[in-house]
Amino acid sequence: MRGLVYLPFQPSAAGLACDLVSVQLIVERVGTPAYIYSARAIREAYRALDAAFADHPHAIHYALKANSALAIVRLLRSLGSRVDANSGGEIIVALRAGFGPGDIVFTGVGKTRDELEQAIAAGVGTINAESPGELERIAALAAGMGRVARVALRVNPDIDARSHPNISTGLRTNKFGVPLGDARQLYLVHRTTPGLRFVGVHVHIGSQITTPEPLVRAARALVSLALDLRADGCALEHVDLGGGLGIAYEGQPVLTAAQYAAAVLPELRRLDLPVVLEPGRAIVGHAGALVSRVIDVKRYPDGRQFAVLDAGMTELMRPALYGSYHRIVPVVPRDGERIRWDLVGPICESSDAFATERELPELRVDDLVAVLDAGAYGAVMASNYNRRLLAPEVLVDGSEWTLIRRRQTIDDVLALES
Ligand code: LLP
């Protein structure tokens, strides 16, 4: 199985299945649109990454931002994962899911004073600091609380991740981190600052990275910095390579966990320190699908054919926001010729489209389709635009399935308003 990726949504005699459960059966109960996830896919993706780094001390801190449904976070905890939290809310989710504060790295380019105070009071494992000003705020808050905050500085190595520009974070023009060249001086300046203890160095150059070179260059830069800091007398406990490992949205093989590890391990071996990884997408991306019903079909005189779905950018924003590709499959495919479809959502925006000119069998009103590889950055990025209600989420485990989040109601939404 090493190197192979388990894809949970496969055709069966009863139409599309997630592991051993019929997708149609689930949505007959929970309605559409709905997110369905496979526990097996999450387990296998986690274990593949864990196995890939088995030869080097490592800690996987799953990036909650990819999907922080409590049931999924608990599942990851049962596998031995730790977490990367990006907000006060995600810290609470981690604690509710049973993680200890020491299991949390707290990242994020803009942490409020309240969030920093929350993180320091909880005693999170590491705060990944993003700027000289943030280091000073952390120090002042911690000293005021009689605490010592464990910090790592996020460096910006000016490396092109060769991913979509909106999800690249490692160029000097990006808002993230401190320039690599400034880091050593900052560690020196703050070596004796009360309230601060440097325990690591951190880098995260972007997401959906599918070639090893940028990741290797980032690892090399980070390890070199850590070696310099050691020469300066700074005793670090880890180096944090961030997340970023991509997945095969188009079905073509991309960098696997094993290839990723093989590429960065020679750099990590220059230093006898554990590595922290912050994967999100690579753990949950393939595990989830958004299932939706066709609510209208129409044909223009020029031959263009639209299938209007009951899910749109409010449920899965990635195609509208990044022009990103998701495989789409009918739950029960009809026989006959394949036609080019524009698969669009119901929102009053032309960017609300999942795919244009996608070849699929005939679709009719009330047919079900599944938008695949939507486990990461799907449900978590949903909104109530047009007063639409957050979709339910279901977790399949073998032949069982559980509703892990019910559909939001209009009363849930209006409860916040006077
Ligand atoms: N660590 C840090 C500091 C991050 O900012 C991120 C993602 C991760 C780890 C996890 O990265 P991953 O392994 O998932 O690539 N909404 C976008 C992705 C945004 C990623 C933001 N940061 C999308 O739908 O493609």
- Give the residue-averaged pLDDT of 2-17: 89
Q: Which atom of ligand 1 is nearest to the CA of 209?
A: 15
Q: For 72-104, what is each residue's pLDDT tens digit?
A: 999 999 999 999 999 999 999 999 999 999 999
Q: What's the gap in Å between 164 CA and the centre of ligand 1?
A: 12
**DSSP state at residue 380:** G
- Residues in contact with ligand 1 (CB, 6 Å cut-off): 63, 65-66, 84, 107, 167, 204, 207-208, 242-245, 278-282, 318, 376-377
Predicted confidence at residue 4, as pLDDT, reads 77
Angle at 290 between CA 294 and CA 410, to 5 degrees: 80
22 phi and psi angles, rounded to 5 deg: -70, 130
pLDDT of residue 209: 97
Nearest CA to ligand 1 atom 24: 377
Distance 66 CA to ligand 1 centre (A): 7
CA 355 → CA 24, 223, 412, distances in Å? 22, 41, 31
> What pLDDT digit, counting tens, does each position of 346-375 carry?
999 999 999 999 999 999 999 999 999 999
Please check the confidence at residue 166 and state whether its pLDDT lies above 50: yes
* Amino acid in position 50: D
Q: What's the rounded Cα separation, in Å, for the pair 408 and 391?
A: 7
* Mutation to probe ligand 1, out of 67, 174, 207 (largest number of atoms < 8 A from CB): 207
Percent pLDDT > 70 in the chain is: 99
So what's the pLDDT on residue 1? 39
| pLDDT tens per residue, range 391-409 | 999 999 999 999 999 999 9
Can you tell me which atom of ligand 1 is nearest the CA of 324? 25
Taking the centre of ligand 1 as the mean of its atom positions, its distance from the CA of residue 206, in whole angstroms, is: 7
pLDDT, the chain, mean: 97
Residue closest by Cα to atom 9 of ligand 1: 243
Q: Which residue has the tokens 């109601």?
A: 409
SS (H, E, C) 92-136: HHHHHCCCCHHHEEECCCCCCHHHHHHHHHHCCCEEEECCHHHHH
Show which residues are catalytic. 348
Give the CA distances from residue 313 to residues 106, 267, 290, in Å, rounded to whole numbers and listed in that order: 29, 40, 12
Tell me, what's the pLDDT at 252? 86
Residue 146: what pLDDT? Answer: 98
Burial (CB < 10 A; 0-12, 13-18, 19+), residue 309, is buried
State residue 2's pLDDT score: 42
